[in-house]
């Protein structure tokens, strides 16, 4: 039978701390982001979760912006990238757009960081860019058409993820109260004022977010169809 070490032996009283690494820091930061949101994420908070001091993190990550870039790249790595198929390029493009958005909204706030602070250039971000361009080119778009489509779809996907996050961050009570106030304000205007806005107002909600995104992507792809060969 193996006996425990006596307390006077070196190392018996304190467990050995696992060495820090960039991957471990990113893993911890992603866990915090998923549970607490972006506002709670700081180098100090990540260090606290790792049971160390902030200075230890800077040996592996330059600052919070770099940490967020590494986190975003890790998130993109969760999305499967298809081999471009000219016969399925429309479906593949739509699946890739939805996959990217799903990955972003799983980690609240990360899309906001990418929109406001950086052009992603991590290995997974580059693979995603290459994959989307390859799909667009397989569909018959010219180099410049594929480039502009890639740019527009990337921006729209991030903007959509930001919107979904904003819906989720607000409490149900707060969102319901804001909706009630907006409806009352519009109804208080003279009859016939902004009739189209009054009619479509109820269509904009968290419940219609997925449907609105799908409509936009389908419409975009239909527009791309008209450009092929031009």
Q: Which tokens is 153 given?
A: 């779809």
**How many other CB atoms are there within 10 angstroms of residue 116's CB atom?**
9
Which of 13-22, 125-134, 185-194, 203-212 has the least mean pLDDT?
13-22
User: Which phi and psi angles does 128 have, rounded to 5°?
Assistant: -65, -45
Contact 44, 58 (CB under 8 A): no
Which tens digit of pLDDT belongs to each residue from 143-192? 999 999 999 999 999 999 988 877 666 555 676 677 778 888 888 989 88
Q: Topology of 81-227 in CATH?
A: Tetracycline Repressor; domain 2 (1.10.357)
Task: For residue 63, give the DSSP letter.
Answer: S
- CA–CA dist 106, 78 (Å, integer): 11
Contacts for 134 with CB less than 8 Å, ≥ 6 apart: 84
For 126, other C-beta atoms within 10 Å of its C-beta total 13
For the stretch 10-43, pLDDT in tens is: 554 555 466 789 999 999 999 998 888 887 789 9
Residues 51, 90 contacting (CB under 8 angstroms) = no
Q: Domain residue spans in the chain?
A: 81-227
Answer whether 0.85 is exceeded by the pTM: no
């Amino acid at each position: 039978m193996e006996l425990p070490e006596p307390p006077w032996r070196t190392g018996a009283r304190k467990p050995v701390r696992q060495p820090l690494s960039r991957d471990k820091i990113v893993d911890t930061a992603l866990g915090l982001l998923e549970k607490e949101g972006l506002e709670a994420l700081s180098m100090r908070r990540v260090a606290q979760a790792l049971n160390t001091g902030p200075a230890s993190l800077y040996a592996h990550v330059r600052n919070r912006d770099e940490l967020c870039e590494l986190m975003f790249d890790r998130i993109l790595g969760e999305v499967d990238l298809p081999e471009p198929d000219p016969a399925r390029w429309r479906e593949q493009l739509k699946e890739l757009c939805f996959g990217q958005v799903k990955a972003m909204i799983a980690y609240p706030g990360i899309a906001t960081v990418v929109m406001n602070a950086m052009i992603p250039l991590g290995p997974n971000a580059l693979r995603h860019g290459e994959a989307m361009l390859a799909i667009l080119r397989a569909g018959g778009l010219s180099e410049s058409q594929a480039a502009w489509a890639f740019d527009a779809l990337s921006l729209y996907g991030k903007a959509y993820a930001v919107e979904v996050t904003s819906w989720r961050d607000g409490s149900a009570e707060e969102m319901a109260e804001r909706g009630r106030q907006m409806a009352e304000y519009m109804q208080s205007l003279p009859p016939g004022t902004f009739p189209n806005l009054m009619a479509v107002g109820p269509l904009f909600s968290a419940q219609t977010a997925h449907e609105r995104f799908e409509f936009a992507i389908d419409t975009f792809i239909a527009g791309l169809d008209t450009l092929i060969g031009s």
